[in-house]
Chain A
């Protein structure tokens, strides 16, 4: 079974600064995907960024980037130029590879990020 660990229950950052959220995972799978999801107070979960384990290059989506260390089973999220709208719960999630591309997500417990003005 896969597990996902987020060791930072809460974090805060000043607006316009950079923050890094940590995530580690445990799996015996070789092919899998990793995700960061954002859940604002309104509760709707939104995909922030994803990484395919077979790709060495770290994924980037505008102000969001990841540091994927496959050997260390580490998958951190960096948010640059933080904005007030980034305030939310952030969940790291794992999905094992399946031919259909459809599998369950295994989530960590989340990190509550607050961006201060």
Chain B
């Protein structure tokens, strides 16, 4: 079974440029998460989707970040414009919805963003 797929794996951009990250969750997983992991820190949630609905986006900096999950499958996270402080690893995770199965989140390999 394929795991969570993310692309690109690495991205280097100049500040003020836009950037987008893509995530394909495990087939059948209703819940999708975007986390940001700063250097030397644990991941922090940016946004959580249940199917197409963003149910927790309280930590998403909405002035420059946006996300979408069309048809409740793939998701895209966008930053426009990027700032130096956005340099981090962006992790996507997915889980099934319901009961104990929903407790385990499966993570993708992440996208390492460097803003120059």
Answer yes or no: are A and B bound together in one complex. yes
Determine if A93 and B56 form an interchain contact, defined as CB atoms under 8 angstroms apart.
no
Instruction: Give A45 Cβ to nearest chain B Cβ, in Å.
Output: 4
Determine if A93 and B98 form an interchain contact, defined as CB atoms under 8 angstroms apart.
no
Determine if B33 and A50 form an interchain contact, defined as CB atoms under 8 angstroms apart.
no
Q: Tell whether B45 is near chain A: CB-to-CB under 8 Å.
A: yes
Instruction: Give A6 Cβ to nearest chain B Cβ, in Å.
Output: 8
Determine if B102 and A42 form an interchain contact, defined as CB atoms under 8 angstroms apart.
no
Determine if A45 and B107 form an interchain contact, defined as CB atoms under 8 angstroms apart.
yes
A65-117 at interface with B (beta carbon < 8 Å): 91, 93, 95, 100-102, 104-105, 107-110
A residues less than 8 Å from B103 (CB atoms): 33, 50, 95, 101
- Nearest to B31 among chain A residues (CB) is A102
Contact with B along A9-51 (1 / 0, CB 8 A): 0000000000000000000000001000000001111110010
Given known A-B contacts A104-B48, A105-B45, A44 and B102 have beta carbons under 8 A apart: no
CA distance A79 to B45 in the complex (A): 28
Determine if A93 and B45 form an interchain contact, defined as CB atoms under 8 angstroms apart.
no
Given known A-B contacts A43-B109, A43-B110, A50-B104, A104 and B45 have beta carbons under 8 A apart: yes
Determine if B98 and A105 form an interchain contact, defined as CB atoms under 8 angstroms apart.
no
CA distance A95 to B100 in the complex (A): 12
CA distance A2 to B91 in the complex (A): 21
B residues less than 8 Å from A4 (CB atoms): 42
CA distance A45 to B30 in the complex (A): 19
B residues less than 8 Å from A45 (CB atoms): 43, 91, 93, 107
Determine if B42 and A109 form an interchain contact, defined as CB atoms under 8 angstroms apart.
yes
Contact of B89 among A43, A100, A105, A108 (CB under 8 A): A43
Given contacts A45-B43, A102-B102, A110-B42, 19 further A-B contacts (CB under 8 A): A4-B42, A43-B109, A44-B107, A44-B108, A45-B91, A50-B104, A91-B42, A91-B43, A100-B98, A100-B102, A101-B97, A101-B99, A101-B101, A102-B98, A104-B33, A107-B43, A107-B44, A108-B42, A110-B41
Contacts from B to A (Cβ < 8 Å) = 3, 30-31, 33, 35, 40-45, 48, 50, 56, 89, 91, 93, 95, 97-105, 107-110
Contacts from A to B (Cβ < 8 Å) = 4, 33, 42-47, 50, 91, 93, 95, 100-102, 104-105, 107-110
